[in-house]
Structure 1
Amino acid sequence: MLEYQAAKDLLMNKTILVTGAGDGIGRAAAVAFAQHGATVILLGKTVKKLEAVYDVIEQAGYPKPAIVPLDLQGATEQHYIDMAETIEQQFGHLDGLLHNASILGVLGPFQHIAMDSVQKVMQVNVIAEIMLTKALLPVMKKAPLASLVFTSSSVGRQGKAFWGEYAISKFATEGMMQTLAHEYEGSNVRVNSINPGATRTGMRANAYPAENPQTLKAAEDIMAAYLYLMGHDSVAVNGQQINAQ
């Protein structure tokens, strides 16, 4: 997948929403999508970070992005419904949705899981994804071809000791992907998941504080898989678990 070469105009005239677009993989994906012609909707909770990504995209001369400040921890279903209506009004349809935003929660023995922590993890990593997807699917169905991409993890495909909260949320993400892929099979909407692998991000640093980040790939180095899933080269790919590395 790292060898995939995306055409410069791969995403021309497409509108793609990226959650967690303020930093890390979300930021890299937003810039990469814009670089290949997409109008990117930047969703995140920290306006300053979103504005910084906006400036990078605008200064590079890529299509002008849009900013949607939203805290997935506290957003209600109505927030997502209102956002979907606004997107439909402004853009007519949505060609792509990258679910990237996640929180790690607390790593530790299953017996020590604190319910307030696991509820926060499930709210951001699962419930928010359900509400956002539910609200945006009608707008995506209006696109000629639409791609819905969930961000998974190796621990969402094979459980790992002490990763309970996060792993369970990512197993749920994989289940959501598979359910939707089966439901929309044969339609204009394709649904897949992507495991970014070990990447130089803040979340990775929190999970592995003793690790040398310079031994990891930067987020910008793994964008081939993200571009592939959002572009026309993957129109026949549905229900697949893709590895970025």
Structure 2
Amino acid sequence: MGKLLEDRIALVTGASRGIGRAAALALSAEGAHIVALARPRSQGALEELDDEIRAAGGAATLVPVDLTDGAAIDQLGAALYERWGRIDILLGNAGMLGPLSPVGHVSPKDWDKVFQTNVTANYRLIRSMDPLLRQSGSGRAIFVTSGAAHKAKPYWAPYAASKAALEELVRTYAAEMQATPVKTALVDPGPMRTAMRKKAVPGENADTLPPPESIGPLFVELAGDAVWSDTLETGTIIRFADWQPLKAD
């Protein structure tokens, strides 16, 4: 029996650690070739990911690029098209927390940096990868959001507002893709044992939170076909806490 994602090409951002790394390993285990993107300073962590993927019999292409470098993202799209003529899975995971402070105390520089990373970079990804996703018979565009986008929690304005903007960006793209095979989803992981969560809630007992590895199977499902032939609509926001894995036939 073949693997669920055999021969599919998956671009994963923020792949050097946390949720991105877990997703890359899960997608690879099901046969996808992983194009792993992370900041250049994460080169060592990317190489460790590559070693683990190859040790398990998978394959990866490492892309140490700053996601906010729009020209580099455009060049990546051209390079992927030249090599494969398509991508099948785009997983926009990379993001940043930014400052936790009153709105009036957030500097314009910090505000712009959060939006550049959480919103504009994902727009540039969609812009560059849309033609490649359209060349796939089963294109998937999956992005990581946060429940903070809906809570109006004090001191979280840059992160919450950027995630709310990301959701509208992705849902609009989903609406535009209705007449194509490209399916789009947003995933809200909820509290998870990641470095970002530790920074946001430093006094929390991390042992009470699920590890990033636990969410890997959800990304595999969304990258596949079965879940879309059921009742899932493109543009849906899936809360990990509510997710029920599909039962095997």
**Structure-to-structure mapping, 1:20-99, within 5 angstroms:** 20-45=14-39, 46-62=42-58, 64-73=59-68, 75-76=69-70, 78-99=71-92
Partner of 1:3: none
For the 8 Å contact 2:26–2:217, the answer to whether it is kept is no
Q: 2:132 aligns with which of 139, 142, 157?
A: 139
Q: 1:121 aligns with which of 110, 114, 117?
A: 114
Counterpart amino acid of 1:244? F
Partner of 1:243: 239
TM-superposed deviation, 1:186: 2.5
Partner of 1:194: 187
Say yes or no: does 1:183 pair with 2:176. Answer: yes
For the 8 Å contact 1:205–1:211, the answer to whether it is kept is yes
Counterpart amino acid of 1:188? P
Question: 1:241 and 1:158 mapped to 2: Cα distance?
Answer: 15
Choose 207-216 or 84-93, whichever is displaced more: 84-93
Question: 1:238 and 1:201 mapped to 2: Cα distance?
Answer: 27
- Pair 8,169 (structure 1): closer, same or farther in 2 beyond 3 Å: farther
Partner of 2:102: 109
Unaligned runs of 5+ in 1: 1-6
List 4+ stretches of structure 1 deviating above 4 A: none
TM-superposed deviation, 1:8: 7.2
Say yes or no: does 1:150 pair with 2:143. Answer: yes
Choose 207-216 or 8-17, whichever is displaced more: 8-17
Counterpart amino acid of 2:221? Y
Unaligned runs of 5+ in 2: 242-249
SS at match of 2:73: helix
The percentage of aligned residue pairs carrying the same residue is 33
Counterpart amino acid of 2:143? F
TM-score calculated relative to the size of structure 2: 0.92
